[in-house]
Amino acid sequence: MNMCYQCVTIKSSTQDGIGVCYICRTLACPQHGGLPSKRPGFHCSRCITGLITQSSGGSTSPPGSGTGGAGVPATKPPAPGSGGGADRAFANSVDFELQVPLLAQASTEERRKVDLSAVREAIRRLFGLLRNEVPSHQDFLDRIGSEASEAIRDEVWRQMRQRENAFGYWQERGGVDAGVSAERDAILGRYRAWLAEDLEPWMLSVYPILNENVWVGERDEPAGVIDVLLLADAMGLYAYNWQLDLERSPFRRLDVVVASDPALVVLAELYSQSIAAYA
Ligand SMILES: [Zn+2]
Ligand SMILES: [Zn+2]
């Protein structure tokens, strides 16, 4: 049994793994991993997604700093004056495609679908969230709470159809609604804490000047310091890794919410909110 973890868990297919991820230690096949030339070993595609996200801002993202993949929380901003960019994992989108060609090829369709205007809008909303303004943390949490509730309710009903005694189980716990609320509150508690404590350090780790006009340019300007195409690659790869529809809220997908990097979940949520305006 040397199967690729993502093939087995997400695609329900079996493919031999060819390498163990340097960061998260999972086994991955060539369509779910690769050897970035500026990093010391094989990486799975979930951790490569984190490397690309960091690279989009020019960050060097040293291994172990927790930059995505496998639920590793991003915590450390780069040292001031570290002058990011010199050793970023991927210089740009083409460099990513050249360094990990099989993974790039496998994820082409998902990456091509990502709308660049919506990525820029998602970043602007990320800054709104950072300032706790538009959206405020509470508005954001209300919205993801209702999305997650739908997913949890679906899951509970699926269980009830599959297990004869599941109904009694939920009745003992105050009924289905109470059960759904408890699950939802657990998710909200996690994201409330992430917004308060981890959002700013994560953004600093991507690019250390927290200003949206610096990141993506003024509204009438073509670009800022963030390589939007590379960030779009990260989002497309994220969609590919999880077989996630980026036009819907990721909070409909409990497996993604529970197991993937909260930074990417939040970014995907803001993207799904932005896409309506730009599609
Ligand atoms: Zn695979
Ligand atoms: Zn990994």
Higher local confidence (pLDDT), 222 or 110? 110
Q: What are the backbone angles phi and psi of residue 182, rounded to the nearest 5°? A: -65, -45
Distance 32 CA to ligand 1 centre (A): 5
| Ligand approaching nearest to the C-alpha of 7 | 1
Instruction: Write down the pLDDT at residue 75.
Output: 42
Distance 165 CA to ligand 1 centre (A): 36
Instruction: Write down the pLDDT at residue 23.
Output: 95
pTM, two decimals, is 0.88
Residues with CB under 5 A from ligand 2 (ion): 21, 23-24, 44, 47, 69
Which DSSP helix (H) or strand (E) runs through 50? helix 45-56
Q: What is the mean pLDDT of residues 72-88?
A: 49
Q: What is the mean pLDDT of the chain?
A: 88
Determine contact, residues 76/201, Cβ cutoff 8 Å. Answer: yes
Q: What is the mean pLDDT of residues 121-141?
A: 96
Distance 30 CA to ligand 2 centre (A): 13
Determine contact, residues 214/203, Cβ cutoff 8 Å. Answer: no
Q: How far apart are CA 254 and CA 130, in angstroms?
A: 24
| Ligand approaching nearest to the C-alpha of 51 | 2
pLDDT band at 162 (very low <50, low <70, confident <90, very high): confident
Distance 172 CA to ligand 1 centre (A): 41
Q: How far apart are CA 205 and CA 165, in angstroms?
A: 48
Which amino acid is located at 94 in the chain? Answer: V
Instruction: Write down the pLDDT at residue 84.
Output: 46
3-class state of residue 92 by DSSP: coil
Q: What are the backbone angles phi and psi of residue 228, rounded to the nearest 5°? A: -65, -35
What the block records as the tokens of 65 is 């700093």
Residue pLDDT, tens place only, 234-254: 999 999 999 999 999 999 999
Q: How far apart are CA 186 and CA 263, in angstroms?
A: 17
Which DSSP helix (H) or strand (E) runs through 12? none
Instruction: Write down the pLDDT at residue 174.
Output: 87
Residue 162, beta-bridge partner list: none
Q: Is 39 exposed, middle or buried (0-12, 13-18, 19+ CB in 10 A)?
A: buried
Instruction: Write down the pLDDT at residue 218.
Output: 84
